[in-house]
Amino acid sequence: MKLPQAVHWVILVVAGVLFGWLYECPVWAQQTSAYRIETVATPPDDVAEEIASALQRQGLRLVRENSEIVAELWLRSTLPLKTSAAGYDALEEGTLVGVLNFPKGGSDFRGQPIQPGVYTLRFEHIPEDGYHMGAAPELYFLLLIRAKADRDLKASLDFNHVMALSRQASGTNHPAPLMLLPATTQTNFPEVQTNELGHVALRTKTLAQIPGSDKAQDFPLALVLVGRAEL
């Protein structure tokens, strides 16, 4: 049976769209399928008791397809928020967000090698000055700090203090940042999330609460654990 010309053209257009989609998507699909997420129990003993008791009971680990562990993450069970703003803007700079373990070492978003061990994660965003413009595709980061150097859950750490502690983790003149990707529009948790630059993030969520509120709300985040800035 010969198809009408109009139907023939529709089929060609749909086939072209599908072919283009399949041609463009393999990179992201391969990156996502090259990793899996597993659950992990309590954080290591290096974490201060006060901090450990404030973490979610169950952590997550990002694992490569060869079963090598990239990192293990425990988020704070309830994050304190400074405002009702959406996303990462609601967090106060210096807030302790969670704990990360690099069993075999790793690297930060600058590509700096990070020694094996346990680190706290404190929130910061890129300063709005000429020195940092274009340094990363996103503005928000969690900075690595050695767990043995960060023992106070409620410590109010200003920008300079967080930078100084994070430089100890990197062992260089630069702090050790891990970039956050937007996660507010996502619905699946936990999951591996990638962006167009090939960065691989562990997407998960916890709870967060505004001071004075008696109700906690979902707080999603996506932490880049594989990939670096193009410096």
pLDDT digit string, tens, across residues 102-140: 999 999 999 999 999 999 999 999 876 545 445 567 899
State the amino acid at position 188 in one-letter form: N
Residue 51: the pLDDT is 98
Residue 90's SS3 state is helix
State the amino acid at position 135 in one-letter form: A
Residue 31: the pLDDT is 60
Phi, psi of 207 (to 5 degrees): -105, 160
Give the residues across from 191 on adjacent strands.
203
What pTM did the predictor assign? Answer: 0.83
Q: Please give the full DSSP string across 196-227, using - where no structure is assigned.
A: TT--EEEEEEEEEE-TT-S--EEEEEEEEEE-
- Structure token pair of residue 122: 């404190």
Are 166 and 145 in contact, with CB atoms under 8 Å apart?
Answer: yes
Q: What is the DSSP letter of 89?
A: G
